[in-house]
Amino acid sequence: MADSPRRRPRPLGQPTPETQHFWDGTKAGELRLQRCNDCGHVYFPPRSLCPACSSRNVDVFSASGKGKLLSYVINHRPHPSFDGPYAIAVVELDEGPTMLSNIVDCDQSPEALVLDMPLEVTFEDNGDLAVPLFRPRESQS
């Protein structure tokens, strides 16, 4: 399990019919994205249509789980679910889409959190939902 600065339960959303595949994926240890069969566009967050060409002909696939640190802030104000300053990050996935996440197994400091550092997904079980988080990885792996 990832070493996370979190101490109390995260505020979780509720899956909808269009996002259920994503949350089923995280439970199964997969990061699932969607791809348009008409134009090839890969997108996130989940929805039952392609935002690039309006097609309904879209598929779900299992992504590599690899990405890089695009940007972040380190929040210093108290949050009921987190202890101490913690980073909220935008991760750019190798497949193209960006997603918000936390960076684990890493000091929550500007010195440790270097932009463009390679990351890989890890999943944190939160009971009903498993939440995708990211941790540093060796760039060649």
Partner 1 sequence: MTVAIVGAAETTELGRIPDMSQIQLHADAALNAFADAGIRARDIDGVATAGESPVNIAHYLGIAPRWVDGSSVGGCSFMLHVRHAAAAIEAGYAHTVLITHGESGRSGVGRGGRGGGGGSLLAQFESPYGSMGPTTMFTIGVLRYMKQYGMTHEQLAMVAVVQREWAGMNPRASYRDPITVDDVLNSRMIAYPFHLLECCLVTDGGGALILTSAERAADFPHKPVYILGSGESVETPMVSQMKDLTSSQAFRIAGSEAMRSAGINHGDVDHMMVYDAFAHLPIWGLEDLGFCGRGEAPAFIEDGNTRPGGTLPLNTNGGGLSYMHSGMYGMYALQESVRQMRGTAPAQVPGAAVSLCLGVGGMFAASGCIVMGNELP
Contact set for Zn ion, span 25-44 (CB under 5 A) = 36, 38-39, 41
Q: Which is nearer to partner 1, 80 or 141 (CB)?
A: 80
Q: Give how far Cα 65 sits from Cα of 28, 57, 79, Å.
A: 13, 24, 27
**What track of x and - describes contact with Zn ion for positions 45 through 84 (by CB under 5 A)?**
-----x-xx-x-----------------------------
Q: Does 76 bind partner 1 (CB under 8 A)?
A: yes
Residue pair 59/87 in contact by the 8 Å Cβ criterion: no
Write the CB contacts of 40 (distance below 8 Å, at least 6 apart in sequence): none
Enter the tokens of residue 23: 């949350």
Enter the tokens of residue 37: 């069969």
Query: Which residues are at the interface with partner 1 (CB under 8 A)?
Result: 6, 10-19, 44-45, 47-54, 56, 70-77, 79, 81-82, 85-86, 88-90, 98-102, 110, 115-116, 126, 131
